[in-house]
Amino acid sequence: MLRANHKRTIVATRAGEKSGLRGPGAFALLGLTLLLSCACLSCSSEPGGGQMLVAEQPFGKTDEGQGVHLYTLRNANGMQVEITNYGGIVTSLLVPDRDGNLGDVVLGFDDLQSYLAGHPYFGALVGRYGNRIAKGRFTLDGKEYELATNNGPNHLHGGIAGFDKVVWNAELGESQEGAYLKLTYVSSDGEEGYPGIFSTAVSYTVTNQNELKISYEATTDKATPVNLTHHSYFNLAGAGAGDALGNILAILADRYTVVDETLIPTGELRDVTGTPMDFRKPTAIGERINEVKGGYDHNYVLNSGGGKLALAATVYEPKSGRFMEVFTTEPGIQFYSGNFLDGTITGKESKVYQKHYGFCLEAQHFPDSPNQPGFPSTILRPGETYKQLTIYKFSIK
């Protein structure tokens, strides 16, 4: 059990806001509230004799002077995840290769300022609505809502200041499953154009089964679309070790959502058979990528159908032996092959990220669902609780 006098809570705000209350409560207080001072938290031994370590350190300040922290979660096997409460970003993820050597398998930066300067959602917690909404508009219960168009003609990943730019409340602890970081935030009615006061809790847990478990819960006081997801760019060979085209991917999906030239679904769910979209058998990401205009950036319709935890995808990297399984309760998963990385971003350890240096597997509902009545609904209503669980599990082969 985490000792009570080592508990610390951070007050959530949106980066860029001025001081003072906003919305319905004190979640909008700008600044850092420390209940008790402690720079590093160490938890008690696990039943198996392993030591679960949770650490916290300053990670810099926002442009408005708000303090941001970096949290480290480890398990008894040495797996380590670092997460900042700015945007819920997973900044590093260390997992062993077949020789037992730990390697960082996600792209990102060494410092907060690089994240503040802008980035393609490296490791981010995305919301209210992950992926695209056509023309930044949707109609709900007879009322039309307008959102920012921040991706060509469309709305992407919650808007200009989505959840990836929020400084979240943070609470560290330890459960039977492992060390965890719980992030919470209350989004005000009308924030980024979305209706309703939207309360969100996201927990990251590192287990002794070498899992990173991400669980989401949310409620609202008005009907609103919701599609929360995680946006790490993976390369199981190691972050910055070259392109990820040799990673061998399998996706348990017979269909995908066909998109137009702006990556908005047409409504068609197309069979993958006989196409370069077919990853039902493990296939190197780069084997057929040149047959897909622009590369992969598509939502797959998972065979599980969502609603229960099920295997969605696997990835194997032959040189390191690292193997990743993705489980989710969501009905879809967005596979993105890092098409827009272009060598202009310098990441951790001064490594330049070129095209296809990482890939994303974003568990989600389908893009543009608020405008697509044939897709599973993404509307959350008062009295309901949004729940999602996604697990990234690591092993070796």
User: What secondary structure does DSSP assign to 46-75, as a single string?
Assistant: PTTS-EEEEEEEEEEE-TT--EEEEEEEE-
Q: Which residues neighbour 50 within 8 Å (Cβ) at sequence distance 6 or greater?
A: 75, 76, 77, 208
- Sequence-ordered alpha helix ranges (H) in 285-373: none
**With 90 as the cut, is the pLDDT of residue 334 above it?**
yes
pLDDT of 259-292, one tens digit each? 999 999 999 999 999 999 999 999 999 999 999 9
Question: Distance between CA 218 and CA 228 in Å, rounded?
Answer: 10
**With 60 as the cut, is the pLDDT of residue 45 above it?**
no
> Which pLDDT does position 11 carry in this prediction?
46
**With 80 as the cut, is the pLDDT of residue 252 above it?**
yes
The label of the residue with tokens 């990943």 reads: 157
Domains of the chain: 4-396 (2.70.98.10)
> Which pLDDT does position 14 carry in this prediction?
54
**Closest listed residue to residue 309, CA positions, set 171, 198, 211:** 211
pLDDT of 151-180, one tens digit each? 999 999 999 999 999 999 999 998 999 999
Higher per-residue confidence, 348 vs 14: 348
> Which pLDDT does position 297 carry in this prediction?
96
> Which pLDDT does position 225 carry in this prediction?
98
Cα 97–363–79 angle (5° rounding)? 25
> Which pLDDT does position 20 carry in this prediction?
36
Instruction: Note the pTM of the prediction, 2 decimals.
Output: 0.89
pLDDT of 349-374, one tens digit each? 999 999 999 999 999 999 999 999 99
Burial class (CB in 10 A: 0-12, 13-18, 19+), 285: buried
- Reported as half-sphere exposure (CB side, CA atoms, 13 A), residue 331 has a value of 16
- Catalytic residue IDs: 231, 362
pLDDT of 80-109, one tens digit each? 999 999 999 999 999 999 999 999 999 999
pLDDT of 115-142, one tens digit each? 999 999 999 999 999 999 999 999 999 9
CB neighbours (10 Å) of residue 263?
A: 20
Question: Distance between CA 191 and CA 107 in Å, rounded?
Answer: 29
